[in-house]
């Protein structure tokens, strides 16, 4: 398993393109690119970003976006809203291609605070097929991430989704913090994702559920590693933290080292 890092870990101190040299200083090689606004969904921006990424010898595994800007509208009740969303997805999938990404990480529609999603899977299934197949047309894997404030906030969602879809291009991203914030363990989500798990967002948390860098909290990464090896997982482990989880960005290198000791492939030197 290869350990990498998301550009989101530098937000808001560094813009997307400014985070690349910082990641290069950490000797990371595999990255997730977080595109944070409409101006970053343009081909010209992504071509320039790809040049910077290549200059620093990095490889893009996945692309993430500010999901509330257009993702929920793909499931809207009117065709016009769905078309607008589809057009934006097409632009972003093209940008992912330019960046050389394999995967698009999807949040999906949000839910009301303290409310469990009431999802009509018979309606959602065909729309999800359409979206996943659109990603596939761009040679991008469509990976739905568990998120505490979105539809996919409970482990069984993955099973219900697969039961109501036909596309072979629907996969899953496991987010450790979001599992905890949903009131479950990461292992609960993992066992329902099965062999469709292709991406992991790594962060740690303490006894008080406060987020921190991996290696500074109580999450059992060793047990996660054993579970992943048992199912033959070969995707990346991507460090995705918030700016208030560390002081100087060099501290991220310590967490990368910590994760590499547990999950394997050395990214340094």
Q: Which domain holds residue 85?
A: 3-263
Residue 22 forms part of a structural domain = yes
Torsion angle of the four alpha carbons 143, 268, 248, 15, in this order, in degrees rounded to the nearest 10: -50
Percent above pLDDT 90 for the chain:
94
Residue 39 forms part of a structural domain = yes
Per-residue pLDDT, 113: 63
Residue 269 forms part of a structural domain = no
Residue 117 has pLDDT above 80, yes or no: no
Q: How many domains does the chain have?
A: 1
CATH number at residue 97: 3.20.20.150
The predicted model gives 75-89 an average pLDDT of 97
The predicted model gives 215-234 an average pLDDT of 96
Per-residue pLDDT, 264: 78
What is this structure's pTM? 0.95
The predicted model gives 130-157 an average pLDDT of 97
Per-residue pLDDT, 112: 74
Residue 60 forms part of a structural domain = yes
Residue 106 forms part of a structural domain = yes
Per-residue pLDDT, 115: 59
Of the listed ranges 30-34, 78-82, 114-118, the least confidently predicted one is 114-118
Q: Indicate the average pLDDT of the chain.
A: 95
Residue 16 forms part of a structural domain = yes
Residue 48 forms part of a structural domain = yes
Q: Is the dihedral of CA 258, 228, 135, 71 positive or negative?
A: negative
Per-residue pLDDT, 267: 40
Whole-number Å distance between alpha carbons of 68 and 60: 23
The predicted model gives 72-77 an average pLDDT of 96
Per-residue pLDDT, 27: 82
Residue 268 forms part of a structural domain = no
The predicted model gives 246-260 an average pLDDT of 96
Tokens of 110: 């949000």
The predicted model gives 82-99 an average pLDDT of 98
């Amino acid at each position: 398993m290869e350990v990498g890092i998301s550009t989101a870990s530098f937000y808001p101190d560094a813009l997307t393109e400014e985070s690349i040299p910082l990641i290069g200083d950490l000797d990371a090689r595999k990255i997730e690119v977080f595109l944070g606004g409409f101006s970053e969904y343009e081909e010209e921006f992504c071509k320039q970003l790809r040049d910077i990424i290549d200059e620093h010898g990095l490889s893009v595994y996945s692309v993430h976006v500010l999901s509330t800007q257009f993702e929920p509208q793909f499931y809207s009740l009117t065709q016009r809203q769905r078309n607008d969303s589809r057009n934006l997805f097409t632009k972003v999938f093209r940008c992912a291609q330019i960046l050389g990404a394999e995967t698009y990480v999807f949040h999906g529609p949000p839910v009301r605070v303290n409310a469990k999603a009431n999802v009509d899977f018979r309606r959602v299934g065909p729309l999800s097929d359409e979206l996943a197949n659109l990603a596939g047309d761009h040679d991008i894997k469509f990976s739905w991430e568990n998120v505490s404030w979105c539809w996919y906030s409970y482990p069984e969602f993955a099973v219900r989704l697969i039961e109501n879809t036909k596309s072979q291009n629907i996969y899953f991203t496991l987010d450790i913090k979001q599992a905890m914030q949903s009131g479950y363990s990461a292992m609960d989500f993992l066992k329902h994702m099965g062999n469709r798990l292709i991406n992991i967002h790594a962060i740690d948390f303490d006894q008080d559920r406060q987020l921190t860098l991996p290696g500074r909290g109580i999450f059992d990464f060793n047990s996660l590693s054993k579970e992943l090896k048992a199912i033959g997982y070969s995707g990346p482990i991507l460090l995705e933290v918030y700016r208030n989880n560390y002081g100087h960005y060099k501290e991220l290198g310590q967490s990368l080292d910590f994760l590499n000791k547990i999950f394997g492939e050395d990214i340094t030197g």
